[in-house]
């Protein structure tokens, strides 16, 4: 079973946020590209927690960008975290990142 968390920011680009988190969490992000998401950054921690940094604006079918998270149209960059429910949440580490806001969590 997994527990998803979503954070957002307007203070950094996806690349800048991935670099900041790489330093802070001592992880390596890999730049990836997909037709659906465009360019995004992915890291996996030792406990299989997956960190994905991506723009909220993703390529649309009609040539116009769509929003990945349309509940937060004002947020330009998303951090999507999927972790095992038994894993320690990264709340403390992430709350220290200025300009990064928790948007959604399945944890209390």
Domain boundaries, position 63: 2-105
Report the predicted TM-score, pTM, of the whole model to 2 decimal places. 0.89
Position 64 scores a pLDDT of: 82
Per residue in 30-59, pLDDT (tens digit) is 999 998 888 999 999 888 889 999 999 988
Q: What is the dihedral of CA 12, 17, 19, 24, to 10 degrees?
A: 120
CA atoms within 13 A on the CB side of 61: 0
What is the predicted pLDDT for the residue at 73? 93
Position 35 scores a pLDDT of 86
Instruction: Provide DSSP, 18-65.
Output: HHHHHHHHT---EEEEETTTEEEEEEE-TT--EEEEEESEEE-TTSSE
Nearest CA among 8, 15, 31, 19 for reference residue 79: 8
Q: Which two tokens stand for residue 45?
A: 């921690």
Q: What is the CATH number of the domain that holds 75?
A: 3.30.160
The tally of domains found in the chain comes to: 1
């Amino acid at each position: 079973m997994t527990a998803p968390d979503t954070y957002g920011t307007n203070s950094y680009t996806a690349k800048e946020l991935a670099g900041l988190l790489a330093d802070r969490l001592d992880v390596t992000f890999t730049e990836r590209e997909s037709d659906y998401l465009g360019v995004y950054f992915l890291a996996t921690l030792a406990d299989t927690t997956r960190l994905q940094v991506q723009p909220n604006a993703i390529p649309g079918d009609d040539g116009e960008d769509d929003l990945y998270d349309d509940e937060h149209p004002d947020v330009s960059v998303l951090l999507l975290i999927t972790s095992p429910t038994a894993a320690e949440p990264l709340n403390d580490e992430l709350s220290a990142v200025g300009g990064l806001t928790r948007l959604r969590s399945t944890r209390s």
